[in-house]
Structure 1
Amino acid sequence: MCIIPQVMLKSSCLKTCSRFSSNRVLMNLRRSHNKVGVLGVPFDKGQLKGGVGSGPEAFRKLGLIEELRGLGCDVKDFGDVRYEQIEGLTVKNMTALGHVAACQKEVSDSVVRILNEGRMCLTIGGDHTCGIGTIDGHVKAKGNIALLWVDAHADLNTNATSPTGNVHGMPVALLAKELSDYWPYLPGMDWQQPRLSIRNIAYIGLRDIDSYERLVIDKFAITAFGMEDIERYGIIEVTNMALRRIDPNDSLPLHVSFDIDSLDALEAPCTGTPVRGGLTLREGIQIMEESYRTQRLSAVDLVEVNPRLGSPADVRITLEAAKHIIRAAVGYSRRGHSPENVSDLPQQTFHNISTSPHNSK
């Protein structure tokens, strides 16, 4: 699936090693103090399976906000996006355009507001149509950005090529400047213009791609890593090669749009379009850890969790997997974190730790 020349792959693999200086690793072992703005987008009109709109509620019930605060984050919950459908908007083979146009406008405006407060924007979906609004808002707030689209699917169809007409399969095609001529006029979407160059977009985790999408990927030389590339090079190498390709000067704000179906269906069964043979949870976490280490991660989408699909156990597995992805995005280290201030520990406890280092498990 990878369309990057082999020479570039070998060169990038060598350069990747330089990204892991001891100082950088130590820096990322510290407790995160990110300022985070959480935005819920209970939107389900971009596809046909009900329930994905209840994702934000499920995450809040799971205690996501409290957990992020427990990790040392300054969290502000901006609540859920509300909108009123625009009646009478129709475009051939593009379902629910009145919902899409109204909701994603509100999403874009909310993302701008969160980013302008100096917070990383964490958007909880909802289906992947949310990416239209989140990325539009990110570009409006920050200028040019780099985008990692982590997904089993390319979401690169237009209304003319989509086999379903479902808009959650169209966001990247709507956002890319190079594809603007492939769209008809979309009433109600005047607020949204193609704002992102294909050269600043990379895919990770692809394994279910329509023939037209593959044609576009090849024609425009989009950076695209399928599962076979991850098996060949490893997820850390793939993530860093993708980052270097879309942001060679290490200068752009980074947006990661993470579809839970990028994970294997055994890891995240409660999603509308599961595909076997996907990322392990560990690989998903590693993508986010590498993204966080850039120190430029300013927006994250976590989408397509559907709590109404599967058994209660399946729902719990899926939500927990998504929560681990989010924790990595705000800087949580699986190595653990030292206390912020050792002097705050009870003196006897500190004495025991310092004099009996082998008593722990």
Structure 2
Amino acid sequence: MALRGPLTRLLRAQPDAALQLRRRAHSVALVGAPLSRGQKRRGVDHGPATLRAAGLVERLAGLGCQVHDFGDLNFTQVPNDELYNNLVLYPRSVGLASQMLADAVSRAVAAGHRCVTLGGDHSLALGSVSGHARQCPHLGVIWVDAHADINTPLTTQSGSLHGQPLSFLLRELQDKVPQLPGFSWLKPCLSASDIVYIGLRDVDPAEYYILKNFDIQYFSMRDIDRLGIKKVMERTFERLMGRRQRPIHLSFDIDAFDPSLAPATGTPVLGGLTYREGMYITEEIHNTGMLSAVDMVEVNPLLGASQEAVKATAHLAVDVIATCFGQTREGAHIAFDELPTPSSPDESDSEQQVRI
């Protein structure tokens, strides 16, 4: 699809960054991040293996991508990892794992790859976004999720760090976020204007306060119903790239989809994205030419009611990633430049007469 409007003018006016990203468009690094300590449910650490088993590598290779699968990072639980403030779970384990992931993502982007982080729970964005920002300090984040994940350690009700990553990453919240053990390495790298949410429908009171008072752009499912997904994406790009071109970090929680499509996940919420809406989001992000990193998180094969439910969730996640790298609903095809022309008829008229 051709780009139109302000984004077209922007890409024409500032070609350097887009050209740099397009040059590495077909080099994709896969980094497995089987992080599970950011939440309470077992099984999300099996997410990377589940996505690979669903044919992710083969799908990307079929799109012409040069896939560099770096395997899974080896996260270890820190012993005696006590609660922070008698509530926040596994801060040292999550902090150490996020630091390892930040280093891995930074190396992948520096090496010229577009990096896909396979989760794991959504606390991994602490590492993936931080590592990406080391190489691309002006990046913009599109956060596709049923949840805002922007509670602070002082407002969280669950204590799970997968509901808090953006509070640590946002500069405007640093006087509201305490220093957790294991987090001394982490520095905020985003401003409120760098983030757009899509698909929200389960937002805590403190999170709603943050979204409103810090002027963070978000599109709830009601907004998607009201505006349509096309207008949502136009406004997303206007917000993130209306003034300057920048790399995009897509952080996609599979629970953004309706649970009827993605049942094998930890915190499903009714009324989510349809398949068509989800694919349109990633098609449009791909069409910008500015996608630099992707998180795919919260696929949990232990929470599927059946093997079919697990497969449906995993294949949906693979579709999301593949669409980020060029799969379209018109078909993903190899290069086809010219139709063949017959050199001669199969049978001459005379041969046909003889047969008659």
2:149 aligned partner: 155
Q: Which aligned pairs between 1:71-110 and structure 2 lie closer than 5 A?
A: 71-90=63-82, 91-92=84-85, 93-110=87-104
- Cα shift at 1:18: 6.0
* Other-structure match for 1:316: 311
| Contact kept? 2:7, 2:241, Cα under 8 Å | no
Measure how far apart 1:243 and its partner are: 2.1
The AA in structure 1 aligned to 2:325 is: V
Corresponding residue to 1:61 among 47, 53, 58: 53
Q: CA deviation at 1:203?
A: 0.5
Count, aligned residues? 326
Per the alignment, residue 246 of structure 1 pairs with: 240
Per mean C-alpha deviation after superposition, the further-off stretch among 157-166 and 330-339 is 330-339
Q: Secondary structure at the match of 1:149?
A: strand
The match for 1:302 is 296
Confirm whether residue 119 of structure 1 aligns to residue 107 of structure 2: no
Question: How far is 1:73 from its partner?
Answer: 0.5
What is the letter of the counterpart of residue 228 of structure 1? Answer: R
- Residues 78-135 of structure 1: CA deviation (Å, up to 9, x unaligned): 1101133334454212101121011111100000011011111111100101111000
Cα distance change, pair 40–338 in 1 and its aligned pair in 2 (3 A)? closer
For residue 250 of structure 1, report the CA deviation from its aligned partner: 4.1
Determine if contact 1:37/1:78 at 8 Å carries over to the other structure. yes
User: Which structure 2 segments of 5+ residues have no match?
Assistant: 13-23, 346-356
Q: What is the CA–CA distance in structure 1 between the aligned matches of 2:46 and 2:215, rounded to whole Å? A: 36
- Provide the rounded CA distance (Å) in 2 between the counterparts of 1:338 and 1:152: 32
Partners of 1:88 and 1:218 lie apart in 2 by 38
The residue identity in structure 2 corresponding to 1:199 is: S
Q: Deviation digits for residues 207-244 of structure 1, max 9, x if unmatched?
A: 00001110111111110110111011111210220121
- Show the counterpart of 2:212: 218
Match of 1:251, SS state, is: coil
Corresponding residue for residue 320 of structure 2: 325
The 3-state SS of whatever aligns with 1:320 is helix
2:341 is matched with 351
1:17-61 per-residue CA deviation (whole Å, 9 max, x = no partner) reads 56589xx9xxxxxxx962100111111111111111101011111
Q: Percent identity?
A: 40
Where does residue 5 of structure 1 map in the other structure?
A: none
* Alignment match, 2:17: none
Do 2:148 and 2:207's aligned partners in 1 also have CA atoms closer than 8 Å? Answer: yes
> 1:336 and 2:293 equivalent?
no
Structure 2 counterparts to residues 112-191 of structure 1, below 5 A: 112-191=106-185
CA distance in 2, matches of 1:33, 1:243: 19
Please say which of residues 190-199 and 87-96 is displaced more in the overlay: 87-96
The SS at the match of 1:132 is helix
Alignment partners' CA distance in 2, 1:162 and 1:233: 31
The residue identity in structure 1 corresponding to 2:177 is: W
- What amino acid maps onto 1:336 in structure 2? G
Q: TM-score, normalised on structure 2?
A: 0.87
CA shift in 2, pair 1:250/1:236, >3 Å:
farther
Q: Find the aligned partners of 1:190 and 1:338 in 2 and give their Cα distance.
A: 47
Alignment check: 8 A CA contact 1:95 1:165 kept? yes
- Return structure 1 stretches of 4+ with deviation > 6 angstroms: none
Partner Cα distance (2:332, 2:314) in 1: 24
Residues 16 and 241, structure 1, Cα contact 8 Å, conserved in 2? no
Q: Secondary structure at the match of 1:39?
A: strand
SS of 1:192's partner is coil
Q: CA–CA distance in 1 between the matches of 2:52 and 2:187? A: 32
Quick one: distance in 2 between partners of 1:276 and 1:265? 6
Q: Secondary structure at the match of 1:272?
A: coil
What is the CA RMSD across the aligned residues, in angstroms? Answer: 2.2
Deviates more, 1:235-244 or 1:225-234: 235-244
Paired position in structure 2 for 1:39: 31
